C-alpha cells in the first residue's frame, strides 16, 4: 500500500508525497502524488489515475483529514495524472481543479462540472493556498502541449510533472536520487521520446534555472535534491529530445 | 452493494437486445417495399385484383406503423444504454471506495459518507433501469400485437391473390413474400420477448 511521506515541513506549511506502491499491478506506471499543505488547506498535485485512487486516498487519509484538500492541480491531461478526478469529486464536489486552459474541455470527460475547473493561461498563474503562493510555471510541450509545473517559492520545491521522470527498476526504489549518473540512465529514453521539442526544452531550462530550487519533484521516479537539481537541468539542456523513436 | 441486479443492468444484455431490434428494423424496411410492389402489381391487374390492392394498401400502412413502433423500441434501447453505462460507472466508483473501506478504521470514516452517496445513486439508476426494461417489454408486446395484424393481412393477401386471374401466380408470389417477411419479424420479436422475460 502506498504511504504518505513528508518531504518538507515548516510549521503548518508542508509538502508530502505518496509514492512507491508495491501492490500496484505491473501494467500501470508508478506515479508520485504530491500534497502541499498550508494550515487548513491542501492542494494535491497530479492526483493520479482512477486505478490507484483507493491507494492514494487511503495513504492521505491515514495522515490528514482529506477534506482539507480544496484544490487539485493537473500538470496536464494524461490519465495517470487526472483520471481519478470523478472519484475525488465524489468525495468532495467542491474541489477545484487547476489545469491548462487548453485541456478545459477535454479533462471534463473524466468528470466535473463547469465550476470544477480553473483554467491556467499559457503564461502561467499564481495560485493561493491559504495565503501561500504557488506558481504555475509553463512547461508546454514537455511533454503535453498545455503543461505546467508548480513552484513553491517558500519551500523552494518545484513539482515538475513528467520533466525529470525516470522509469526505475524495482531494485532502485529510493524516494530520492542517490547517485545521479546511475539514476539518469533511467531518464534518458523517457525524455528523448516523450519530450518533443528542443526549443521548448531550452526555454524551460532557462526559466527554471532562474528559480531557487532545493527539490525537483517529478511525477514518476525519484526526487532530485540540492546539486542534483542543477545537474538535471544541465543534463536535460544537452539532451537531444524528440529523438526517441527506435529504428 | 451486492443487491444490485447484475443481469438487469448489464450493458451486454442491452446490446444483444439492440442487435435483435436492428435486425427487425432491417427486415421491416423490406415490408414497405414489398407492399409497394404488391400495390403496383395489383394496379396493373386491374379490377380483378381490387381486393389485393386494398390489402396491399393496408400492408403499407402496417409497415409505416411498424416503423414507428420500432423507432419507439430504439429510443428505449438508447435510454437503457445510457442508464446501464451510468450504472457501470457508479459500480466502478463503488469498487474504488470499497477498496478504501478495506483499510483501517481511521481511513474508513472518511470514505463512508461518499460510499453511501454512491450507493444511493446506484439505487436511483437501478430503479431507472428497471423502469426502462419494463417499458421495453410493454412496447415489445405492442409491436407483437401489431405484427399479429400484419400476419392477418398477409394471409388475406394470399386469399385475394387467388382471384387475380392471369396475374394470380405473380400475386401469390408477392403474398408469400409478404407473409415470409412478417413471419420473420414476428419470430425475431417473440424470441426477443422470451429473452427479456428471463
Cβ-nearest to B118 among A1, A55, A90: A90
> Which residues constitute the domain of residue B177?
2-197
Q: How confident is the model at residue B198 (pLDDT cuts 50, 70, 90)?
A: low
Is there a contact between A58 and B118 if contact means CB atoms under 8 Å apart? no
Cβ-nearest to B110 among A53, A61, A86: A61
CA B187 to chain A, closest CA, distance in angstroms equals 41
Q: How confident is the model at residue B2 (pLDDT cuts 50, 70, 90)?
A: very low
Q: According to the model, what pLDDT value does residue B166 have? A: 77
* Nearest C-alpha in B relative to A66: B110
Cα separation, A76 vs B145, in Å, equals 56
Q: How far is CA B170 from CA A172, B29, B52, B163, B173, in A?
A: 84, 21, 12, 12, 5
Is there a contact between A50 and B96 if contact means CB atoms under 8 Å apart? yes
| Phi, psi for B180 (deg, rounded to 5) | -60, -45
Lowest mean pLDDT among A44-48, A76-80, A84-88, B14-18: B14-18
Task: Give the mean pLDDT of A42-53.
Answer: 96
Q: What pTM did the predictor assign? A: 0.83
Q: CB contact, 8 Å: A50 with chain B?
A: yes
Q: Kindly report the CATH number assigned to the domain that includes residue B184.
A: 1.20.1270
Q: CB contact, 8 Å: A243 with chain B?
A: no
Task: Give the mean pLDDT of A172-194.
Answer: 95
| B168: exposed, middle or buried (Cβ count in 10 Å: 0-12, 13-18, 19+) | middle
Terminal alpha carbon distance of chain B: 22
> Of B103, B109, B119, which to mutate for an interface test with A (greatest number of A Cβ within 10 Å)?
B103
Q: According to the model, what pLDDT value does residue A88 have? A: 95
Average pLDDT, chain B: 85
Is there a contact between B104 and A62 if contact means CB atoms under 8 Å apart? yes
Instruction: Please answer whether residues B160 and B52 qualify as being in contact, where contact means their C-beta atoms are separated by less than 8 angstroms.
Output: yes
Cβ-nearest to A90 among B99, B104, B117: B117
> Of A90, A109, A111, which to mutate for an interface test with B (greatest number of B Cβ within 10 Å)?
A90
Q: CB contact, 8 Å: A53 with chain B?
A: yes
Strand A96-100 and strand A117-120: the pairing is: parallel
Is there a contact between B97 and A87 if contact means CB atoms under 8 Å apart? yes
Q: According to the model, what pLDDT value does residue B31 have? A: 80
Lowest mean pLDDT among A184-193, B4-13, B121-130, B140-149: B4-13
Task: Give the mean pLDDT of B28-36.
Answer: 80
ipTM above 0.90, yes or no: no
Instruction: Please answer whether residues B76 and B135 qualify as being in contact, where contact means their C-beta atoms are separated by less than 8 angstroms.
Output: yes
Q: According to the model, what pLDDT value does residue B128 have? A: 93
H helices of B10-104, in order, are 11-45, 50-101
Q: How confident is the model at residue A247 (pLDDT cuts 50, 70, 90)?
A: low
Query: CA angle at residue B62 from B56 to B63, to 5 degrees?
Result: 90
Instruction: Please answer whether residues A98 and A127 qualify as being in contact, where contact means their C-beta atoms are separated by less than 8 angstroms.
Output: yes
Q: According to the model, what pLDDT value does residue A245 have? A: 79
Instruction: Please answer whether residues A16 and A4 qualify as being in contact, where contact means their C-beta atoms are separated by less than 8 angstroms.
Output: yes
Q: Is the pLDDT of residue B25 over 90?
A: no
Is there a contact between A90 and B92 if contact means CB atoms under 8 Å apart? no
Q: Is the pLDDT of residue B4 over 80?
A: no
Grid cell, residue B147, equals: 405484427
Q: According to the model, what pLDDT value does residue B9 have? A: 55
Task: Give the mean pLDDT of B79-108.
Answer: 90
Cα separation, B191 vs B122, in Å, equals 30
* Nearest C-alpha in A relative to B117: A90
Q: Which residues pair with B66 in a beta bridge?
A: none
Q: According to the model, what pLDDT value does residue A111 have? A: 94
Q: Is the pLDDT of residue B37 over 60?
A: yes
Task: Give the mean pLDDT of B171-180.
Answer: 84
What is the domain count for chain B?
1
Is there a contact between B100 and A57 if contact means CB atoms under 8 Å apart? yes
Cα separation, B26 vs B99, in Å, equals 46
Q: What is the pLDDT of residues A202-239, one digit of tens each?
A: 999 999 999 999 999 999 999 999 999 999 999 999 99
Is there a contact between B110 and A65 if contact means CB atoms under 8 Å apart? yes
Between residues B174 and B66, which one has the greater pLDDT? B66
Q: How confident is the model at residue B135 (pLDDT cuts 50, 70, 90)?
A: very high
Percent of chain B past pLDDT 70, that is, above it, reads: 94
**Which residues on chain B are in Cβ contact (under 8 Å) with A57?**
100, 107, 110-111
Instruction: Please answer whether residues A241 and A192 qualify as being in contact, where contact means their C-beta atoms are separated by less than 8 angstroms.
Output: yes
Q: Is the pLDDT of residue B1 over 50?
A: no
Q: Is the pLDDT of residue A126 over 80?
A: yes
Task: Give the mean pLDDT of B49-78.
Answer: 87
Number of Cα atoms under 13 Å in the Cβ half of residue A80: 12
Q: What is the pLDDT of residues B101-134, one digit of tens each?
A: 998 888 999 999 999 999 999 999 999 999 999 9
Q: According to the model, what pLDDT value does residue B3 have? A: 42
Task: Give the mean pLDDT of B31-44.
Answer: 81
Amino acid at each position: 500500500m502506498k504511504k504518505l511521506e513528508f518531504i518538507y515541513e515548516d510549521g503548518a506549511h508542508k509538502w508530502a508525497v505518496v509514492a512507491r506502491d508495491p501492490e500496484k499491478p505491473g501494467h500501470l506506471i508508478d506515479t508520485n502524488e504530491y500534497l502541499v499543505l498550508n494550515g487548513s488547506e491542501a492542494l494535491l498535485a497530479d492526483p493520479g489515475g482512477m486505478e490507484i485512487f483507493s491507494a492514494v486516498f487511503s495513504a492521505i487519509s491515514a495522515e490528514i483529514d482529506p477534506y482539507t484538500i480544496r484544490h487539485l492541480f493537473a500538470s496536464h491531461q494524461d490519465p495517470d495524472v487526472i483520471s481519478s478526478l470523478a472519484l475525488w469529486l465524489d468525495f468532495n464536489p467542491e474541489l477545484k481543479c487547476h489545469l491548462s486552459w487548453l485541456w478545459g474541455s477535454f479533462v471534463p470527460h473524466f468528470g466535473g462540472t463547469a465550476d470544477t475547473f480553473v483554467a491556467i493561461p499559457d503564461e502561467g498563474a499564481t495560485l493561493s493556498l491559504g495565503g501561500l503562493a504557488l506558481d504555475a510555471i509553463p512547461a508546454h510541450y514537455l511533454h503535453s502541449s498545455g503543461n505546467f509545473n508548480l513552484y513553491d517559492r517558500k519551500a523552494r520545491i518545484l513539482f515538475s510533472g513528467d520533466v525529470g521522470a525516470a522509469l526505475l527498476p524495482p531494485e532502485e526504489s529510493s524516494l530520492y536520487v542517490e547517485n545521479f549518473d546511475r539514476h539518469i540512465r533511467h531518464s534518458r529514453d523517457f525524455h528523448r521520446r516523450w519530450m518533443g521539442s528542443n526549443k521548448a526544452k531550452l526555454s524551460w531550462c532557462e526559466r527554471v534555472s532562474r528559480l531557487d530550487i532545493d527539490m525537483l519533484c517529478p511525477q514518476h521516479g525519484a526526487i532530485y535534491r540540492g546539486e542534483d537539481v542543477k545537474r538535471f537541468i544541465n543534463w536535460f539542456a544537452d539532451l537531444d529530445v524528440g529523438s526517441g523513436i527506435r529504428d | 452493494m451486492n443487491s444490485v441486479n447484475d443481469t438487469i443492468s448489464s450493458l451486454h444484455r442491452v446490446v444483444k437486445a439492440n442487435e435483435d431490434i436492428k435486425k427487425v428494423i432491417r427486415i421491416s424496411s423490406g415490408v414497405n417495399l414489398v407492399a409497394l410492389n404488391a400495390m403496383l402489381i395489383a394496379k396493373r391487374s386491374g379490377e380483378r385484383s381490387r381486393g389485393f390492392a386494398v390489402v396491399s394498401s393496408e400492408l403499407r400502412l402496417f409497415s409505416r406503423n411498424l416503423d414507428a413502433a420500432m423507432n419507439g423500441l430504439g429510443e428505449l434501447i438508447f435510454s437503457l444504454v445510457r442508464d446501464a453505462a451510468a450504472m457501470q460507472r457508479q459500480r466502478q466508483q463503488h469498487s474504488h471506495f470499497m477498496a478504501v473501506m478495506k483499510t483501517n478504521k481511521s481511513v474508513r470514516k472518511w470514505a463512508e459518507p461518499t460510499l453511501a452517496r454512491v450507493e444511493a445513486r446506484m439505487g436511483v439508476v437501478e430503479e431507472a433501469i428497471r423502469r426502462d426494461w419494463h417499458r421495453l417489454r410493454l412496447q415489445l408486446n405492442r409491436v407483437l400485437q401489431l405484427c399479429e395484424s400484419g400476419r392477418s393481412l398477409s394471409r388475406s393477401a394470399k386469399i385475394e391473390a387467388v382471384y387475380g386471374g392471369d396475374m394470380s401466380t405473380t400475386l401469390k408470389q408477392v403474398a408469400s413474400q409478404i407473409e415470409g417477411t412478417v413471419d420473420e419479424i414476428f419470430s425475431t420479436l417473440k424470441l426477443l420477448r422470451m429473452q427479456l422475460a428471463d
